[in-house]
Amino acid sequence: MSIIVDERTRAIVQGITGYQGRFHTERMLKYGTKIVAGVTPGKGGETVFGVPVYDSVNAAVKETDANASIIFVPAPFAADAVFEAVDAGVEIIICITEGIPLHDELKMYWKVRDAGAILIGPNCPGVISPGKCHLGIMPVHVFKEGKSGFQAGVVSRSGTLTYQIASNLSSLDIGQSTVIGIGGDRIVGTGFVEILELFENDPETNIVVLIGEIGGRDEENAAEYIKKEMTKPVVAYIAGLTAPPGKRMGHAGAIVEGGVGTAESKIRALENAGARVGKTPAEVAEIVFEELKR
């Protein structure tokens, strides 16, 4: 099994005729992802790499029975793209777009939550269940299908650290059940706790890797959940130990204010919850290997 996406996922690409949408559609198709339609208003009737393009998400869903959408729509229009997907009944929405205004992200969050759908992102690299489905912009060659009893689920706020740690895991022959980049903005559709719960209930995920960074309380909230609810081992990595307070580092959510959200406080909370925290990406993979061999 896997979480969020698998071989049954039928996806549409919103913004398929733009440069990014076209480029990543080709990559996802080559991986084997079932891209059943694209959507660009005014471009209905065209095709992109054999994928039919529709003027609206509603039309695409009706014709193809799609249950997922990946969004490559520019920031000023991304919230409307998410709303359109929700209104069409799409269950899984992955928003790659960065630079979306905070108030738009808040509207997106509640729209998706009220509909009972799943939003991954925005400003995220997407989701991959190795060998089954890839909806995103990740470098697929670093991920590996797992063997029974030797699979890690990975959830991360950082794209590049996701790739690095997945590569380290793969080099030790540790496969990944699913890898999710939840995004680094202050408001994301799905947080650590929701993903941890899905991994906890996934029989093919044997251990969970949590990749966090400075800013906010997401990792502390995850630590509380780990302590109370998780029966599977959790290994973590927190980026930003040397970041100066009050300065945003890369992601909109990666800012330490008033002494809250420091790397030290997050590491302490996770270790107190029973998670093991690696000092480097390579050490994280080594700890995972150790835990799986027990």
* Closest alpha carbon to 267 in 211, 228, 225: 211
* Catalytic-labelled residue, pool 24, 134, 141, 251: 251
Query: Which strands form 34-39's sheet, in the order they lie side by side?
Result: 47-48, 51-54, 34-39, 10-14, 68-71, 92-95, 118-120
Q: Confirm whether 251 is a catalytic residue.
A: yes
Question: What is the four-CA torsion angle of 215, 220, 221, 227, rounded to 10 degrees?
Answer: 160
Burial of 73 (0-12, 13-18, 19+ CB in 10 A): buried
Q: Which residue has the tokens 């509380």?
A: 224
Q: Which amino acid is at 275?
A: A
Mind telling me the catalytic residues?
251
